């Protein structure tokens, strides 16, 4: 493989970090911050997951993530529906970045990476969650919110938790 296949026609390495991010946690933020130095442009893509009932609206999630990375011009936040590889092609991404917390995540991500490479040639880069964030998941945060617990330790610093507190 030639290195040039991993650079777009403007000389940029573009990565796509897809997920439902409902909500975006410190674990997600850590993956982004650790991956940023590897790429010229980093797109956080909030996807519609038909198998999940949304906790936050797409607009709330987008605004939340944009506020976390407001000072980083290399980060862009988008919403999408459909296949992740279709969005990757649309934005010219050569890489998909995914976070792995557990061995089950690795198995699932390995299969997705192989399919995505077969379909498009796009490579997937897996970053392991730092140990201090490995127990944090969006579903755990949602559950804690439902029971009125303080979730601020699991969310990016300065995140507006009032959006979450109003949930049933």
Per-residue model confidence as pLDDT tens digits over 111-164? 999 999 999 999 999 999 999 999 999 999 999 999 999 999 999 987 777 777
- Is 7 part of any domain? no
- Is 132 part of any domain? yes
Domains in the chain, number: 1
Set 28, 61, 62, 98: catalytic member: 28
Full domain range(s) for residue 97: 12-165
Per-residue model confidence as pLDDT tens digits over 81-107? 999 999 999 999 999 999 999 888 888
Look at residue 2 in the predicted model and tell me its pLDDT: 45
- Is 3 part of any domain? no
- Is 103 part of any domain? yes
Active-site residue, 138 included:
yes
Locus of tokens 């934005």? 91
- Is 96 part of any domain? yes
Set 52, 111, 135, 146: catalytic member: 52
- Record the pTM: 0.89
Look at residue 9 in the predicted model and tell me its pLDDT: 59
Residues 6+ apart with CB under 8 A from 36: 42, 72, 74, 75
- Is 110 part of any domain? yes
Q: Which whole number is the average pLDDT over 16-40?
A: 96
- CATH number of the domain where residue 157 is located: 3.40.50.620
- Is 64 part of any domain? yes
- Is 4 part of any domain? no
Active-site residue, 62 included:
no
Largest CA distance in the chain: 52
Active-site residue, 61 included:
no
Look at residue 34 in the predicted model and tell me its pLDDT: 97
Set 34, 78, 89, 101: catalytic member: 101
Look at residue 81 in the predicted model and tell me its pLDDT: 93
Radius of gyration, CA atoms only, the chain: 16
Look at residue 107 in the predicted model and tell me its pLDDT: 86
* CA separation for the pair 122, 79 (Å, rounded): 20
Set 30, 41, 138, 142: catalytic member: 138
Residue 31: pLDDT over 60? yes
Per-residue model confidence as pLDDT tens digits over 47-58? 987 777 788 999
Active-site residue, 28 included:
yes
């Amino acid at each position: 493989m030639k290195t040039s296949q991993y650079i777009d026609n403007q000389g940029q390495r573009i990565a796509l970090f897809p997920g439902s991010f409902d909500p975006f946690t410190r674990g997600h933020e850590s993956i982004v911050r650790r991956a940023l130095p590897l790429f010229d442009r980093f797109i956080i893509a909030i996807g519609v997951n038909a198998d999940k009932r949304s906790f936050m609206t797409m607009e709330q999630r987008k605004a939340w993530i944009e506020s976390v990375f407001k000072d980083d011009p290399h980060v862009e936040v988008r919403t999408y529906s459909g296949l992740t590889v279709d969005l990757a092609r649309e934005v010219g991404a050569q890489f998909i970045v995914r976070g792995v917390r557990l061995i089950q995540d690795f198995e699932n991500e390995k299969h997705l990476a192989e399919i995505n490479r077969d379909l498009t040639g796009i490579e997937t880069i897996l970053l392991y969650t730092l140990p201090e964030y490995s127990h944090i998941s969006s579903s755990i945060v949602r559950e804690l919110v439902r029971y009125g617990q303080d979730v601020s330790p699991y969310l990016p610093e300065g995140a507006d938790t009032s959006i979450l507190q109003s949930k049933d």
